[in-house]
Every structure is written in structure tokens, then in C-alpha cells.
């Protein structure tokens, strides 16, 4: 590979690391090309870039950034998944593929600039989808306001029932 191509690849990797909300580093040694293509296809569908990277170029790409601490894990046959939208969805795909294909070994990941280990990646994979979490959030935000509406309407209903009871008492007293 010529130096120009290496410089361009390092620049591309720097841009991907900077843009990604989460990254996952894995070792893929021994996985057949057909299986790797299936993983890439699933990753593309989830808006995740899955790239096989040269370790020295990846180390240069993270040098001087908040992700420089991952340099130590960049060894062997390295692949990096860059998640731009849904980190939990990407983690689910990788963990599921690693279960089906034990030759894919997840090493570590990052959320923003925070480095996470294998246990945290598995925990992230167990989270419900983003849409479900947002629905729960909006439901909990709506709950206090709907409770207040019920309490306030209860006061007016009680007042109307009291007036109706007084009217019935006066009607019964007259009759």
C-alpha cells in the first residue's frame, strides 16, 4: 500500500472515530468470507460501518484523540464497528453474531470517549430498542400531568355531585 493511500485511510478512520457515537473492536480471525459478508450486510442495515483495519493505521487514527487508550487493544486481526445512531442495536448485532460465530471475539468498545469492556457491551446489547426507551420516557413524563388532570377534574365532579345532592334534598323537603 502506498503512502498516499495510507494517509487517506488514516484520515477516513479519524473521521469515522470522531463521527461515531460508539465503536466496537473485535477479532475476526478464522471467519469465512461468506459469514463476514452476512455480518456486514446486517450491520449496514442498522447504519453501522464494519471495517477491517490495519492496526498501525488505526493506532495513528486515534493518536491524540480521546480514544487513544484503545491503542493497546488494536492487535491481531482487528475489525471495528462504527455506530452512528443506535449503539445498543449495534451491540445486539455483534453479540448475537459472536454467539452464532464463536470465532468473532469482541474485545472492547467505546461510548463517546469512554472505553467499555465486554461485560458493558453485553449489558448494552440487553437494553430495549431506542424507540421503546423513548416511549417509556415520554410515558413517565406524561404520567404526572395526566394525574394532575384527574385530580383537578375529580374536584369539579365532587362539587357537581354535592350540588346535585343538595338539589335532591330540597326537592324531597318540598314534596
Q: Which of 79, 85, 78 is nearest to 20 (CA)?
A: 85
Whether 124 contacts 116, CB under 8 Å: yes
Decide: residue 62, CB within 10 A, 0-12 exposed, 13-18 middle, 19+ buried: buried
Q: What residues contact residue 111 under an 8 Å CB cut-off, 6+ apart?
A: 21, 22, 87, 124
Look up residue 4 and give its three cell numbers: 498516499
Q: Where are the domains of the chain?
A: 3-127, 129-175
Question: Is the alpha carbon torsion for 120, 124, 126, 127 positive or negative?
Answer: positive
Average pLDDT of every residue of the chain: 85
Name the percent of the chain lying above pLDDT 70. Answer: 96
For residue range 130-151, list pLDDT tens digits in order: 777 788 887 777 777 766 677 7
Choose which CATH entry (1.10.10.10, 3.30.1200.10, 3.30.70.1730, 3.60.15.10) describes domain 3-127. Answer: 3.30.70.1730
Question: Which of the 8 DSSP states describes residue 117?
Answer: -
For residue range 7-60, list pLDDT tens digits in order: 888 889 888 888 888 999 999 888 888 888 888 898 888 889 999 888 888 888
Q: Which of 73, 70, 75, 72 is nearest to 55 (CA)?
A: 75
pLDDT at 19: 87
62-85 average pLDDT score: 85
Question: Looking at the predicted structure, is the pLDDT value of residue 89 above 70?
Answer: yes
Phi, psi for residue 148 in degrees, rounded to 5: -65, -40
How far is Cα 134 from Cα 82, in angstroms, rounded to an integer? 23
Whether 40 contacts 91, CB under 8 Å: no
Look up residue 114 and give its three cell numbers: 469512554
Strand order from edge to edge, sheet including 114-116: 48-53, 78-83, 22-27, 105-111, 114-116
Amino acid at each position: 500500500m502506498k503512502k498516499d493511500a495510507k494517509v487517506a485511510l488514516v484520515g477516513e478512520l479519524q473521521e469515522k472515530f470522531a463521527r461515531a457515537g460508539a465503536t466496537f473492536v473485535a477479532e475476526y480471525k478464522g471467519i469465512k468470507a461468506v459469514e463476514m459478508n452476512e455480518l456486514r450486510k446486517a450491520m449496514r442495515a442498522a447504519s453501522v460501518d464494519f471495517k477491517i483495519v490495519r492496526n498501525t493505521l488505526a493506532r495513528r487514527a486515534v493518536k491524540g484523540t480521546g480514544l487513544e487508550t484503545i491503542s493497546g487493544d488494536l492487535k491481531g486481526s482487528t475489525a471495528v464497528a462504527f455506530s452512528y445512531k443506535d449503539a445498543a442495536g449495534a451491540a445486539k448485532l455483534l453479540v448475537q453474531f459472536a454467539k452464532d460465530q464463536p470465532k468473532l471475539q469482541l474485545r472492547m468498545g467505546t461510548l463517546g470517549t469512554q472505553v467499555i469492556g465486554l461485560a458493558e457491551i453485553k449489558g448494552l446489547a440487553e437494553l430495549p430498542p431506542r424507540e421503546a426507551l423513548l416511549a417509556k420516557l415520554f410515558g413517565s413524563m406524561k404520567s404526572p400531568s395526566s394525574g394532575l388532570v384527574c385530580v383537578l377534574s375529580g374536584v369539579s365532579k365532587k362539587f357537581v355531585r354535592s350540588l346535585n345532592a343538595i338539589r335532591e334534598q330540597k326537592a324531597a323537603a318540598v314534596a
